[in-house]
Amino acid sequence: MEFLSPIYTEKRQCQDCYKCIRECPVKAIRVENGHAMVVSGLCVLCGHCVTICPAGAKRVRDDRSRARQLLSLKERVFVSLAPSFVSEFPEVSPANLVSAIKKLGFFGVSETAIGADLVSSQLAEDFSSLKNRISASREKVGPHERLLLSSACPVAVEYIKQYLPDLSPCVTDRASPLLAHARFLKDLYGPDIGVVFIGPCIAKKREADVWQTIDCAISFQDLRQWFAEEGVGLENTERKTSEGFVPFSAAKGSLYPIDGGMVSSIEKYPQAKGFRTMAVAGLDEIDRALRDLHPEGLDDPLFIELLACPGGCLNGPLASREGSSAIRKLKLLEYGGKAKDTATHRKQIDMQGVLPVERIIRPVHSDDEIRQALKQVGKLSLQDELNCGSCGYDTCRQFVAAMLEHRAERTMCVSYMRKLAQKKANGLIRVIPSGVVICDADLKIIECNENFARLMGSETELMFEAKPGMEGADLALITGMSRFFTDVMTPTGPDVVEHEWREGKKIFQATVFSIEKGESACGVIQDVTAPQVRRDRVIRQTRRVIDKNLAVVQKIAFLLGENAAETEATLNSIIESFSVDESDEEKIR
């Protein structure tokens, strides 16, 4: 079920705006009965849909219940705290934050950045080994050793493996900082401890689902809510506490949350000196950097640090958006600047384990299939392909491809729905027995039916034959009823008016109502001198007399007595006499 996925849709909140489709970098959204659902197999968990959904319909799985259960089942549960805590809680000292977290029942708090230090140290050794091999024989270095892509960001790893599969072998087979840290803690304190990650990243929930070493992952937002539920306050930083991170504080791995931080951390190790490095942040930028990059074309190896969030993890989808991003980055730089350059305690743990991703192969549609699908939404030529993007897709062809894959519905196409609505409206206008005319604020006709043209006379009928609908014709030059349109067009005027007026030997009755106040209005016209209309008009007026008479009778019933019943019977007989159907009239004739 969808709620088992880290990101899911609250259907009752979804407003069918398709903003999530427009904003999703991989279009991992399926529209089902008008609701935009996340396709977990295609989603890379960047969390962008969560941050931009205007209705708050995109939700993140709350794993606090799992964390609470872990606290009740295990004697010792440790927190792996993301290094971006510095920018998330800028007014709280690390010691006081540790103290507050331990009040929730955790045994200890450790920095995830320790795992980052382990990764940096390992990669520095990898670079050194690769440089030595190149010095011995450059030809023996394969194409996928010339381009090394970091495995630190699980979103970036999923994106490459799912959408840039040719570069999958280039992803370094090294554990992410979180996985390395969890292994480090369990090696140090025993395999029976629990490990809960706290940070701004949704993708860490996928890591916890995949790797048994990580028990669960919650967000900084979850932590704040947990504090509130338990009545734990974040003490002022001036208050001293002896609490601290276990088993020790991290080194330059604490810079990982900012773009270029991983590279800076690796370069602190001497063996990494002289190795070419680069940092790219943001999925769009990652795509632009890697899409046409061919490893075999590189003369010397290149390591690229990849972070899915623009600016780095401190701008993660579940990070606080309060305050200046520049100030938050400065806070982290200051904290990392005080840390040691390299890790002094190196545990020999398993450093392999890149996030496994099951790639979904999307079907390839033929030109004939695309053309047939385009016809379903009224796009019969290239000119019809507006590529307006209102459906959420960049092109009409991408949209119909999603239709063929049952990820989109025809009703998502605004131009198709507009044409469909126009056809239905035109059909209704054509079959209405009365004359119908719609005009704009300048009394220019937008649309009218043939019955209107017939009622207005032979000249207007000729105009209609020449140009059906008579779009652009001046209503004031055709009929005197144009003044009634002016009444409903004024901002303070009524929404509906009913009038009768004479033109020649005919008497017309018009009901004019506003469609868009001050912009457009519609008039429905009848010729009350026509036999059928005369009969209907007498019936309506007689019924009006009955209603008024009965109202009076109710007020003065004690005076009229039986006269009320006799009057009603008489008036009803008049109605019946005018309600003879056409077949009866033929018999009388």
**Each residue's pLDDT expressed in tens, for the chain with a length of 589 residues:** 344 799 999 988 998 899 999 999 999 999 988 889 999 999 999 999 999 999 999 999 999 999 999 999 999 999 999 999 999 999 899 999 999 999 999 999 999 999 999 999 999 999 999 998 888 776 677 878 899 999 999 999 999 999 999 999 999 999 999 999 999 999 999 999 999 999 999 999 999 999 999 999 999 999 999 999 999 988 654 455 678 999 999 999 999 999 999 999 999 999 999 899 999 999 999 999 999 999 999 988 999 999 999 999 999 999 988 888 899 999 999 999 999 999 877 667 999 999 999 888 889 999 999 999 999 999 999 888 989 988 999 999 999 999 999 999 998 998 888 888 878 877 888 888 889 999 999 999 998 999 999 999 999 999 999 998 899 999 999 988 888 998 898 888 899 999 888 888 888 989 999 988 889 999 999 888 876 555 555 556 556 655 665 665 565 554 444 444 554 555 455 455 545 454 454 444 4
User: pTM for the whole thing?
Assistant: 0.76
Please give the pLDDT value at position 534: 53
Cβ atoms of residues 50 and 58 within 8 Å: yes
| Beta strand 302-307 pairing with 147-149 | parallel
- Position 426 scores a pLDDT of 78
Flag whether 172 is in a domain.
yes
Whether residue 183 sits in one domain with residue 68: yes
Helix runs in 153-248, H state only: 154-163, 177-189, 203-210, 220-230
Token pair 């729905």 is found at: 417
Q: Are residues 32 and 79 in the same domain?
A: no
Is 560 contained in some domain? yes
Are 511 and 488 in contact by the 8 Å Cβ rule? The answer is no
Q: How many CA atoms lie within 13 Å of 285's alpha carbon, on the beta-carbon side?
A: 15
Contact present, 188 and 347 (Cβ < 8 Å): yes
The closest alpha carbon to 56, from 7, 5, 4, 1, belongs to: 7
Residue ranges making up the domain that contains 375:
367-418
Q: Are residues 136 and 242 in the same domain?
A: yes
Q: What length is written for the chain?
A: 589
Q: Which residues of 405-444 are buried (b: 16+ CB within 10 A; e: fewer)?
A: eebbebebbebbeeeeeeeeeeeebeeeebbbbbbbeebe
User: Quick one: 194 and 75 in the same domain?
Assistant: yes
Structural domain total, the chain: 5
Helix residue ranges, H only, 315-384: 325-338, 367-376
Assess whether 118 and 202 both reside in one domain.
yes
Q: Give domain status of residue 360, yes or no.
A: no
**Residue 271 sits in the same domain as residue 409:** no
Residue 211 one-letter amino acid = W
